[in-house]
Structure formats: C-alpha cells, structure tokens
Chain A
Amino acid sequence: MIFTNPMFWFALLGIGVALLFVGKKMNLLNNTAYAALVSVVIVVAYFHLVDHYLMEMQGLDYWYLFRK
C-alpha cells in the first residue's frame, strides 16, 4: 500500500508547500477554500510523518495493522 511509504507523505507535504508558494504568488492565500485546501494537505502530511518516524525511531512499525 502506497500510503505506508513515508515518501508518499513527503510528496504530499512537498505538494502542499508548493501550493503555498503558488498561492502566495497568485494572491490566492486569502481565498478561504484555497487556504483550507493547502492547510489540510500540509497538516495531514506532517502528522503522518510525525507518526511514522517517531515510531520508527523506537524500532516500531506505525503501519503494523495495515501491513498484517
């Protein structure tokens, strides 16, 4: 499953950050729908990376249930 790979979440985070810069350049950040979309993409990716790597640091698999 692709979402068990941290690269997927890094890519999503990258997309979120890219959208942030695009929005800044095109003055879209004050558009509520656009701002909400960018925010959700960034925070969802961020918290998944936090979960993944902090479990990995302890030698544990965050995706245990999804791999079994």
Chain B
Amino acid sequence: MGRQHGKKIWSIMALSAVIAFLLLPVATSLNALAGGGGETPPAPVAKAEGDKKGEAKVEKGRDVYYKTEGIVSGAPAPKTVDGPKDYPRYNFESRVLLWFANQQHLYYGSFVLAVPIFCMIIEFMGVVTKDKAMAKKYDQLAYDFVKISLTAYSLTAILGGILIFTFLTLYPAFFGYLSSIFRPVMHIYALMFVAESGTLYIYYYGWDKMKEGLLKWIHLSMSVILNVIGTVLMMLANSWIGFMMSPAGVDEQGRFLGNIWHVIHTALWNPLNVHRILGNMAFGGGVVAAYAAYRFLSAKTDEERAHYDWMGYIAMAIAVAFLIPLPFAGYWLMREVYAYRQQMGITLMGGLLAWLFIIQATMIGILFLSTNYYLWQALGRMRGAEKYQRYIKYLVFVLVVGFLVFITPHTIVMTPAELKAMGGQQHPVLGNYGVMSAKNGGINVIITTTVLSFIWYMRGNKEPMVPWKNFGNIFMGAFFGMAYVNIIWLAIYGYYIPANVRVGLSVPQVASTLSCLFFMTALNGVMLKGAKQMGPIEWGKISARSQYAIIMLATAFTWMMGLMGYIRSSVRLFWHVNEIMRDNSPWAYTHTVGFAANMISFNVLFFWISILFVFFLATLGAKKAPVEAKAHAPGRVPEPAHGH
C-alpha cells in the first residue's frame, strides 16, 4: 500500500516536472513575445539618444502582407551571388542533397508525430472500455505502436541534425537569414524538442509502472502532453515554410519589423497546419498498417496472424479516417494559395507544375482504390458478408469511372503531327474531363464510394434488429443515391455557368460527401445497436492480397508526400523567400518531371529500406508475446475484437 502510494507521488511529481518543463519555454519567451521579438530593437534606443540630441531617427517599414507599420529590427535579406561564400558546394547539386535530407527528416518527423496520437487514442479506448480482455489488447497495441516510434524518434533527431548541417554547409546565407528572422522562437523550438524527448521516454519506460488506477490516467495524460508538444513543434516548423512561401512580418527588403506573430502567422500557415496534421496521421497510420502487414505476412502461427491482422485493421482505419478529409484540406490550402497570389496558384495547377498534379491525382486514386480493395478483402473474414460480394463489381465500375475522370489531363504534350490529327491541344471528348468541375465530381464520387464500402464492412457480419430496419436501409440507399446524383449534377452544372459561380460548387459537392460520411455512419451505428451477429470476425483469415494492398497504400502515400512536398517547395521558383530573397544558386530552376519523379522514388525507397530496419529492431524485443498468448489459450485462435 505504502509502496503504491509512493509510486503515485513519484508519478505526480514526474508529471508536474514535465508540465513545468513544457511551460518553461513559454515563460521564458513571454517577455520576448510581448516585445514582439526576442531581442531589444535597437531603434528605440537610437530614438532615445536621438531625442536627447533633437534628431529623432526611427526607421519604420511596412509589412509586406499585413500592411502595418513596424520598427525595423533586423537586417535586410542578403543579396546572394553564385560563389563559395553564399553557395559553397561539393561536386554535386546542393539542392538535391538538401532535398534528400529534408525529405527523410520530414518522413520520420511525420511518423513520430502521428504515432503518439494513435497511442493516445488507443490507450484511451483501453482505459474506458469495460471489457477487460479488450482493454488489455488495446493497451498492448498502443504499447506496440509507441515501441515502433521510439527507434524512429532517434532517427528523426539524427536526420534533423543532418538537415541543419546540410543547410549550414550548403546554404549558409539563406539559413542565416531565416534564423535571424525566427530567432525569437528558435529556442522555444529547441526546448520543445527536449521536452518532447523527455516526455516520450517517460511515457514509454513508465508504461508498466503506471498501468492501473490513477497512475494509468496520469500516464494517459502524459500522452496528451506529448501530443501537444509534438503539434506545437510541427506548427513552428510549418511557420518556416509558410514564411518562405508567403512571407509576412518583414518589409519589402526582408527586414524584420519586430512582430514575431506576424512572421509565424502567414497567409498559408493555418491551411498548412491542418493539411499536415491530417497528412501525418494518414501517413503514420499507413506506415503502422504496413508494419502490421509485414508481420502478418511473416507470421508463423495463427495467433500472430490474428494479432497483426487486427493491428493492421486498426491502423488502416485510422489512416482512412484522416485520408478522407485530406483532399478537402488540400483544397483549402490551394484556395488560400490562389487568394494569396493568383499567379502562384496558376503555376501550381494550370502552369509549370500542373502535370505533377495529374500524377498526384493518380496517386490519390490509387490510395482510395487500395483502401476499397482492402475493405472488400476484409469482408472475407466475416460470416454473413457474402451478401455484399456480388455488388462489389458495381462499386469497382463507379470507382474506375471516377478515377479516370479524376486523372484526365486538360491538355497533353504532343508532337505537331499528333496535334494536327487531334485538331488542337485538347481532345474533343476527353478534354472536357480535364477541368476542375469534372475532377471535383470524380474525387467526390470516389470518396463517397469509399464511405459506402466502409459501411458495408461495418455491417458485414451483422443483421440490424431495430424495428424500423426496412426504412433505415431504404433511407440509407436513397441518401447515397441522391448524394451521387447531386455530386454528378453539380459537376455537369459547372459547365453551364460562369467561372466565378462555378468555383463555389465544390463546397456543396464536398458537403454531399461529408453528409454521407457523418450522417450515414451515425445512422448505421444506430441501426447496428443490438444487431444479430452472423458469426465472429475471424481475425487472421484474410487473403495475403489484402496485406499487399496495405503495403501499396503506405507506399503510395509516401510517394505522394514526396511529390506534394516537391510541388509546394518548387512553386517558389527562383526565390528562397518568395519575392524577398532571391535564389542565385545555379540550381534555381525547376527540374523536369522525370528527374523529380526519380528523386521522389529514391527518397521513398530510402525511407522504406530504413523503416524496414526500424521494424526489424521492433521485432527483436517482441518475441515473447505470442508465446505468452499460446500459454493462456492453447490451440485457439484469439479474437482480438468482435466489434469494430
């Protein structure tokens, strides 16, 4: 009893220490933020001295974005020249080296930011569930997740170090300027990183010691702290890229005007934050699902297969839950890009980089096709799900049509002879599908179909028993049917109205899809309360093909992240900081699509080879679990979950 009490006190003290540590950077920076910077601007001093002498000299500048006036508190952006001083180099393209370091850091950073969020959700599910066996399984799953992320966390830190050294070595002038602008918050970033490391290690190593009662809640609350720190870190990092794309808080010469919030809160910061959080979650879910698939495929026993099938399903469900709203967040980001600089938007989606968006559309289509394929395969492990199998071919048809419309380019690269034969740059029929109106219709049809597949999966082995089930089924059918009609109608309607009205049609299209997602999932949940089970979910009895679909999903996601990162970065063209600091290195040009694709593929390959090593490390410490499971239930295939 006394020992338990002591443990509690120590846990509370540890948690308090973590919170205090977390608040430390905020406390230390309060003065800095209040002053709008982290340094005392020299100008007021000069003014005070100037007043004495009767010659006040306070230089003021106008914020390039907020249009407010501020006291100049920093040096102008350096005007670089191509040479060893501003652009020292090895006998290699510096940009490619930086690209590699940046991308790898970002992959691992995304992964280690996402996985603790899953842990938090799954650990919470374990704490609140009344079924003790399930609670234990959820807890074990959360622990498995954090174990994978721990090794990845070390790699993230190492890659972050490599990235900084790459910047300092190859782009010292640019990195010096960026550091000078963000100086007031640089130490917050560093301290946050230390706080996150500390919290993560306590969270991981304290798992067994804090597994019951109040201690478990304290442990769970530590995961909340961990995720708050992780999110703040990500948002700070996003503020740098936001500043590079849409600078604010500086005058037209790039001089800091004393308000660090303006520098952080640029036009694209919030859309980037939302897009990245969702993207990280979907990516992290995909990678963990791929880990589970890898373990499933290499499993030797039914117990292992059952466990990793379940783990893959949970990770996949999380990935898909965040994948569905991701295109909408992307749409918001693009809308803000257009609002910030129309030319930037045109370069992205209608000009130099437009072909990359066609590749992106293909990747998005692959993501959704893989997801649907996995769900259809997963129906096979449920008795009673056969009733849906015969309808899958119709879903395939709808998905393929939506996909083909979504990936159709507006114009294609042609030889003069081909151009002449076709009668213009645009194909007389297919060219009509190359506009946003059709593409919005295509992607919304794909997402709505994915929601439908998910609902079928949810009720695969269940028979609703509510007295109004007939009406419920018909209403659900009518709702989905009308959603499809509305989405396609709005896509067609867009061809007949002016562009300024047409652009707004995407919002009701999205709302139609989201209505299906939220209302129909909720209705389905209500209908399945007290439903008759046709049979248990036979975990582990799923085709190997489904696991390859998971691996494909994760790989496609990794590739798409690399692609979109490249697009977002390339849109600055020959600017380090858009319209403020010019890139005068020999590599200030846009690569060909082929080169970019090869580079992205190399990054993806490197990431997957290195993460396989991380997976391998995770297996070294996990040999005991199946043996224990066997001892408790000899000869029986465990069923980790009967519900969803």
Contact = CB atoms under 8 A, between A and B. Distances in A.
A7 interface: no
> What 10 pairs across the A-B complex have the smallest Cβ distances?
A39-B478, A29-B471, A60-B504, A43-B482, A35-B471, A39-B475, A35-B474, A54-B508, A30-B470, A51-B508
A51 B501 contact: no
Interface in A18-68: 23-24, 29-30, 32, 35-36, 38-40, 42-44, 46-47, 50-51, 54-55, 57-58, 60-62, 64-65
B501 A61 contact: yes
Interface residues on A, range: 20 to 34
Interface in B470-500: 470-471, 474-475, 477-479, 481-483, 485-486, 490, 493, 496-498, 500
A55 B507 contact: yes
Contacts of B401: none
A44 B467 CA distance: 25
24 contacts: A29-B471, A30-B468, A35-B470, A35-B471, A36-B478, A38-B475, A39-B471, A43-B478, A43-B481, A43-B482, A46-B515, A47-B483, A47-B512, A50-B508, A50-B511, A50-B512, A51-B486, A54-B504, A54-B508, A55-B505, A58-B504, A60-B500, A60-B504, A62-B508
A47 B488 CA distance: 13
Contacts, number: 74
A32 B474 contact: yes
A59 to B, nearest CB: 8
Given A43-B482, A47-B482, A65-B493, A38 B471 contact: yes
Contacts of A23: 471
Nearest to B479: A43
B633 to A, nearest CB: 43
B482 A44 contact: yes
A43 B500 CA distance: 28
Contact of A42 (B470, B475, B477, B486): B475
A65 B501 CA distance: 10
B497 A64 contact: yes
Interface residues on B, range: 20 to 34
Contacts of A58: 504, 507
Interface string B333-358: 00000000000000000000000000
B90 to A, nearest CB: 51
Contacts of B474: 32, 35-36, 39
Interface of A: 23-24, 29-30, 32, 35-36, 38-40, 42-44, 46-47, 50-51, 54-55, 57-58, 60-62, 64-65
A61 B497 CA distance: 10
Interface in B492-529: 493, 496-498, 500-501, 504-505, 507-508, 511-512, 515
Nearest to A61: B501
Contacts of B497: 64-65
Nearest to A33: B474
Contacts of B512: 47, 50
B506 to A, nearest CB: 10
Contacts of A38: 471, 475
Contacts of B501: 55, 60-61, 64
Contacts of B471: 23, 29-30, 35, 38-39
Given A29-B471, A65-B496, A54 B507 contact: yes
Contacts of B504: 54-55, 58, 60
Nearest to B470: A30
Given A39-B479, A43-B482, 5 more contacts: A39-B477, A47-B512, A55-B508, A60-B501, A64-B501
Given A54-B511, A64-B501, A47 B468 contact: no
Contacts of B477: 39
B476 to A, nearest CB: 9
Contacts of B493: 65
Nearest to B482: A43
A14 B222 CA distance: 49
Contacts of B485: 47
Nearest to A60: B504
A36 B482 CA distance: 12
Contacts of A35: 470-471, 474-475
A51 B62 CA distance: 42
A46 B504 CA distance: 18
A64 B504 CA distance: 12
Contacts of A30: 467-468, 470-471
Contact of B515 (A36, A40, A50, A60): A50
Contacts of A47: 482-483, 485-486, 512, 515
Nearest to A68: B497
B473 to A, nearest CB: 9
Nearest to A58: B504
Contacts of A50: 486, 508, 511-512, 515
